[in-house]
Amino acid sequence: MATIKDVALLARVSTATVSRVINQTAWVEPVTRERVEKAMRDLNYRRNAAALALAKRSGDMLGLLTGNLADPFFARLARGVEEVTRKHQFRLMVCSGGHDESMEKAGLDFLVNQGCEAIVVHASRLSDKELLRYSAHFPAMVVVNRYIAGMAHRCIWLENRSAAREATLHLLAQGHRYIACVTSDLPIIDRQDRLEGYRQAMAEYGVTVEKQWVISVPFNEEGGERAAHLLLNSGIAFTAALTFNDVMAAGIMRVLHQQGVNLPQKLSLVGFDDVVLARYLHPALTTMHYPVEHMARRASALAIQLYQGVTLPPSANSFSATLVIRDSVFPLISAEK
């Protein structure tokens, strides 16, 4: 009698893939599924009815694909998801995509293959087309921190453009005109939207943004340190900078403190996210509060409702950031529009 190993050998796949096809517990590429099913027919393989019934039992598991968990922003996202899974007595499985396309795809495949019935996805590198392909097979998959028109009812997103505009307008209102934008070096939609918001605010004050004013670096502490050196060596009399996130601002502060630059008198900073460390920096960081935990709770609750077949009315799933004023912005005496 043929075994699952025999089927896997003939179909040139793993036994795990054969199991997924047999038990229908996860999505498998159509061409692979066809090859497995042909091997089963050729070998006259018979499914075990009892094993199939066991495999189909619901495990009430929610999967979370997130970014780098070492980043406090993603720790907040995971905490929001965990609150909802505990409330609904779901098990939680977490995978990091590391802002890398292949890692994100591998992580999403892993969650699917582990039998997660509901999935919350934070993916910065997978294309809209790829995420739409997954969503077509998994009706309880919700995307957070991203808007995709083809699945807008299953997206939870932040209005990044208006947030960056508000942050830049705050600096402009304090009299700053030479304002750098320290942004991500990855071509992600957040970067594009925030740059547009920054440019829009500058244009409202009649300020022309030069190419050198936009500094693209990795969006972590090391990227912030690199940005600080670029700011110091630019030859431009920057008086302020808007950063892509708070940890980049922390990296900038570290280098400027080492170089004896007085903050915020010589350089004002506005961050983004409002992670816990922002209030403990010196000076305490003015930043845009990103309601990521609230968004995470909304995303995970929506994923569970979709899995449970709840009929949901149309709802607005966009969120706004709010300005948190602390001590890192110095008002210039000659403040005027």
What is the pLDDT, as a whole number, of residue 59?
64
Question: What is the C-alpha separation between 81 and 77, in angstroms, rounded?
Answer: 6
Question: What is the C-alpha separation between 301 and 85, in angstroms, rounded?
Answer: 8
Q: Provide the sign of the torsion angle of the four alpha carbons 84, 88, 94, 99, taken in this order.
A: negative
Within 10 Å of residue 308's Cβ, how many Cβ atoms?
12
Residues of the chain with pLDDT under 70: 23-27, 47-59, 314, 333-337
What is the pLDDT, as a whole number, of residue 66?
92
What is the pLDDT, as a whole number, of residue 335?
45
Question: What is the C-alpha separation between 69 and 79, in angstroms, rounded?
Answer: 11
What is the pLDDT, as a whole number, of residue 53?
43
Strand partners, 96: 66
Q: What is the pLDDT of residues 101-154, one digit of tens each?
A: 999 999 998 888 888 889 999 998 899 999 999 988 888 999 999 999 889 899
Pairing of strands 179-184, 322-324: unpaired
In the three-class reduction of DSSP (H, G, I as helix; E, B as strand; rest coil), residue 28 is classed as coil
Q: Residue 119 — φ and ψ, nearest 5°?
A: -140, 135
C-alpha to C-alpha distances, 114 to 20, 142, 192, 261, nearest whole angstrom: 10, 17, 34, 52
Question: What is the C-alpha separation between 287 and 321, in angstroms, rounded?
Answer: 10
* Max Cα–Cα distance, the chain, nearest Å: 87
